Amino acid sequence: MREDGSAVGAWGDMRFSKLHGLGNDFLVLLDDGTTGPLTAERAAALCHRRSGVGADGLIRSERIEGGAVSFELLNADGGPAEMSGNGARALGLAAARAGWWEDRSQPLVLHTKVGARLLEWLGGGLEEARLAAAMGVVRPLDDAGPLWEVLDGSVTGGSWYGWAVDVGNPHAVALIDGKLPSPAELDDALAPLDALRPDAFNHEFVVRGPEAQALTLVVRERGAGWTQACGTGSVAAAWAAHEQGWVGSLVTVHNPGGSVQVDLSGPEARLAGPVTHIADVEVAR
């Protein structure tokens, strides 16, 4: 597919793959050394859903000695992000399609801003596959910003428990004993928060179930807004619910776009889920 260069800027020929994990979509640029880092403005223009190609984020990757690859993520607004679970799987499938990950019986090492992360191929083909990513050690954060100051029972419909969680990037997780609010309902409550500290955290609003050892959430991501899914957010929600005593160490997390599985039984969290190739995109002058 060729996009009109006037829509996204005349920056020279660049080839991307567009992929998604549960509807959380990414443009992936496998840089052979001819492109270099992209500016925030270029990333935001390419991710724009009306005047660009459209995506929740843009990932740029280079090959590293020893078969590893780099992982550089810019959100839809052009701002940097430390890590993405769905984005990691998107990069893995793009790398496999390009021949950067030929021996998929061995893990692919991603070098992210928060350290090396191992990616496992669990099955599937080069159009749709199932992958698992090591997500690092999950830790509590001391501060979740002013979220707890603007969230109350009138929004959640009952009691709730707040957790600030570090999954390489910061999350404010609200575990709700009641009905899950819609994004529209939450937008009104979060308006004061945006004025105080916009995009400081990713926000997850979580309820139990519907089945045992499962959670359901909606998520608002830094630099992207409400999304269909969030990998690091699913891990943060599972970890918080585990600490709260809601679930065990193996958790299914239902996002608006589908479900992932989180394994908290080891020293590092592990996230497993699907990833789908959508199209290959060439942006030309």
Indicate which residues carry an active-site annotation: 230
The first and second tokens of residue 77, run together, are 């607004």
Residues 6+ away with beta carbon under 8 Å from 114: 82, 83, 136, 168, 169
Residue 75 annotated in ligand binding: yes
3-class state of residue 236 by DSSP: helix
Do residues 84 and 57 lie in contact, with contact meaning Cβ atoms separated by under 8 Å? yes
Residue 202 annotated in ligand binding: yes
d(CA 189, CA 175): 16
Vertex 192 angle, CA 221 and 78, to 5°: 35
Residue 255 annotated in ligand binding: no
Residue 153 annotated in ligand binding: no
Residue 57 annotated in ligand binding: no
Dihedral (C-alpha) 220, 226, 231, 237: value to the nearest 10 degrees? 40
Residue 49 annotated in ligand binding: no
Q: What is the DSSP string of 22-64?
A: TTEEEEEEE--SSS-PPPHHHHHHHH-TTTS---SEEEEE-EE
Q: What are phi and psi of 9, to 5 degrees?
A: 110, 145
Positions at the binding site for substrate: 24, 75, 85-86, 169, 202, 221-222, 231-232
Positions at the binding site: 24, 75, 85-86, 169, 202, 221-222, 231-232
